[in-house]
A and B are shown apart, each in its own frame.
Chain A
Amino acid sequence: MTAIKIENLTRDYKVGFGGFKKVRALDNLNLEIFPGEIFGFLGPNGSGKTTTIKLILGLIKPTKGKITVLGKNPSDTAIKRRIGYLPESPYFYDYLTAYEFLSFCAEVLNAKENKIDELLQLVDMKEARDVQLKNFSRGMLQRIGVAQALLGDPELIILDEPMGGLDPIGRKEVRDIIVNLRKEGKTIFFSSHILSDAEMICDRVGILVKGKLLKVGRTAQILSEEIESIEITAKNISQNQEEELSRISSRILKSDNKVMFIVSTPEERDKVIKYIIATGGEIISVVPRRKTLEEYFMSFVR
């Protein structure tokens, strides 16, 4: 069974006066999220990530297509007890304290009150327990948001830009929380436009641009597919050798007595290495340069 199954999902928004014009926010999306995985749903702002999440939660209805969440239709209120959700840049009730807000959530979820303090500890907000939420910074609200999403001990956790508004330490903490949740067997679906976070923790990623899913696969696979170049660093290279090698490599960089040859294929790599060894040069290192998810992602967006 899949945690989330999305089939041919399309969603249009009516815009303009009278709503006669339509904008397609999501175009024929097909996606499956499996139990126990961390799935990163990546894309630039306005690519349709939040629309997809709202559809999964039944907050809006699809124009076309079908969604199954934990085996049920998203409009089924009963499954919401098994889902934790953090909206993008959350705002909560201004005049409630962190504890009051969480105990409201606990009551709605039929969750135990004693879980609240445990979660406040987890998101490092114990000190702010009795402070009204209107006095919270964006990062603090984000932490409370994470806490409320985990309150009902859900099996599926949907996080919309969970690292938004957090400083590097906060982001690391959220990453650690997500990784720990996977250890507990939870399924995590999170959207982000910050790719380095996703790169570090996701089992699989999907890349959504302008409402279309461009690519989906294992994070490592998507990366290994895309070796951009290989850097070979050597020393004891004479002017002659260098001239000879410049015919094979695409770029040559020099510093002190070291020379770096940048090639783009494994064949070129082998040729360069053989030539250097044969002519008495010394190889210091051979490093494949992978495209980071960031670069990969930007190549699609352009």
Chain B
Amino acid sequence: MKLKPIIINTFIESVRDRILIILIVLGLLLMASAKIIQPLALGEESKIIKDLGLSAINLVSVLIAIFVGGRLIYKEIEKRTIYIVLSKPVRRWEFILGKFFGLLLVLFVSLLILAIGFFIVLLLTNIRADFTLLLPLLLLIFQLAIITALAIFFSTFVTPIGASIFTFILYFVGHLTRDLKAFAAMVKNPVITFIANLFYYLLPNLANFNIKGMVVHNVPIPPSVLLLTILYGILYSAGLLFLSVLFFQRKDL
């Protein structure tokens, strides 16, 4: 198994890339802006600042997954670094999984930095932080796993820009699939119902991962929902990675 060197290599290569640092700084600045809007919040400041912080972390980490992830495989092909790697005793599936976990590691570390920034902001604004604030971040990791797998999946057969655009579209659509289900139940035509249902099950359901609102408004979240969502994230990512490897095995480099 040659996963570890590829994971570490992907991690170092991504961490030293300027785009990552820019995005993280952007996220930290967004959260810091909470201090400015605090006087305007009129008693709702706790909810607004928590919401702002979690949204900033969400936005930045999704952008990292889409932009860094979209370039991940293609850059290797374009710059021919992949020839170096695959001419050595590395299997193609090891390469794909190494890239995936490498980027996931980058995302995890970015998330950690952003989360620390978030808790510092909460401290500075005298807002009581509790453990439930970590739950949306926990689910975010699994949502990011799906997005990373999507970006890798697309980048095995389209250009980096194409992969980033497709991933972004699916991320967007992934938050609306519930409407698709509702639509399927509403329509009378069985063919359309079937198609709508098919897409509902095929497309990633990302809305389930978004529990930020519930946490901010102190709505309790049953553990079974959390576990099922995590399980869904793992299975959906695994499926995408399986397809990526399938495509990549046949690919002419």
Residues of A within 8 A of B (CB): 54, 57, 59-61, 77-78, 80-81, 83, 85, 87, 90-96, 100, 104-105, 107-110, 132, 148, 152
A-side contacts of B84, CB under 8 Å: 85, 87, 90, 92, 105, 148
Sample of 14 more A-B contacts, CB < 8 Å, known A91-B81, A108-B89: A59-B252, A59-B253, A61-B252, A77-B90, A80-B88, A90-B84, A91-B79, A92-B79, A92-B81, A95-B13, A96-B13, A104-B8, A107-B2, A132-B16
B-side contacts of A132, CB under 8 Å: 16
Chain A to chain B contacts (Cβ below 8 Å), 19 pairs: A54-B253, A59-B83, A77-B91, A78-B89, A81-B88, A87-B80, A90-B80, A92-B84, A93-B13, A94-B13, A95-B12, A96-B13, A100-B12, A104-B8, A105-B84, A108-B5, A108-B85, A109-B88, A132-B16
A-side contacts of B198, CB under 8 Å: none
Give A180 to B45 CA distance when docked, in angstroms. Answer: 73
**Would you call A59 and B86 a contact (CB within 8 A)?**
yes
B35 at the interface (CB under 8 A from A): no
Q: Closest approach, in angstroms, between the C-beta of A87 and any C-beta of chain B? A: 5
Taken residue by residue from 141 to 177, chain B's Cβ proximity to chain A (1 for < 8 Å, 0 otherwise) reads as 0000000000000000000000000000000000000
A-side contacts of B87, CB under 8 Å: 57, 59, 80, 83, 85, 87
Give A57 to B9 CA distance when docked, in angstroms. Answer: 22
Give A174 to B33 CA distance when docked, in angstroms. Answer: 57
**Would you call B2 and A108 a contact (CB within 8 A)?**
yes
**Would you call A80 and B89 a contact (CB within 8 A)?**
yes
Give A85 to B12 CA distance when docked, in angstroms. Answer: 24
Q: Closest approach, in angstroms, between the C-beta of B89 and any C-beta of chain A? A: 4
Q: Closest approach, in angstroms, between the C-beta of B239 and any C-beta of chain A? A: 25
Partner of B81, one of A77, A85, A93: A93
B-side contacts of A93, CB under 8 Å: 9, 13, 81
Question: Which single residue of chain A is at the shortest CB-CB distance from B4?
Answer: A107
B17 at the interface (CB under 8 A from A): yes
Q: Closest approach, in angstroms, between the C-beta of A150 and any C-beta of chain B? A: 13
Give A100 to B6 CA distance when docked, in angstroms. Answer: 12
Give A148 to B85 CA distance when docked, in angstroms. Answer: 11
A-side contacts of B91, CB under 8 Å: 77
Partner of A108, one of B12, B80, B90: B90
Contacts A81-B89, A108-B89 given; indicate if A96 touches B12 (C-beta within 8 A): yes
Give A83 to B89 CA distance when docked, in angstroms. Answer: 9
Q: Closest approach, in angstroms, between the C-beta of B173 and any C-beta of chain A? A: 28
Q: Closest approach, in angstroms, between the C-beta of B105 and any C-beta of chain A? A: 15
B-side contacts of A95, CB under 8 Å: 12-13, 16-17
**Would you call B81 and A105 a contact (CB within 8 A)?**
no
Closest 10 CB pairs of A and B: A95-B16, A107-B5, A85-B87, A91-B79, A80-B89, A60-B252, A87-B83, A59-B253, A81-B89, A108-B88
Give A59 to B87 CA distance when docked, in angstroms. Answer: 8
Taken residue by residue from 191 to 223, chain B's Cβ proximity to chain A (1 for < 8 Å, 0 otherwise) reads as 000000000000000000000000000000000
B-side contacts of A90, CB under 8 Å: 80, 84
Question: Which single residue of chain B is at the shortest CB-CB distance from A84?
Answer: B87
A-side contacts of B79, CB under 8 Å: 91-92
**Would you call A105 and B253 a contact (CB within 8 A)?**
no
Give A101 to B13 CA distance when docked, in angstroms. Answer: 10
B-side contacts of A152, CB under 8 Å: 88
Give A105 to B157 CA distance when docked, in angstroms. Answer: 26
Q: Closest approach, in angstroms, between the C-beta of B249 and any C-beta of chain A? A: 10
Residue in B13, B81, B84 whose Cβ sees the most chain A Cβ within 10 Å: B84
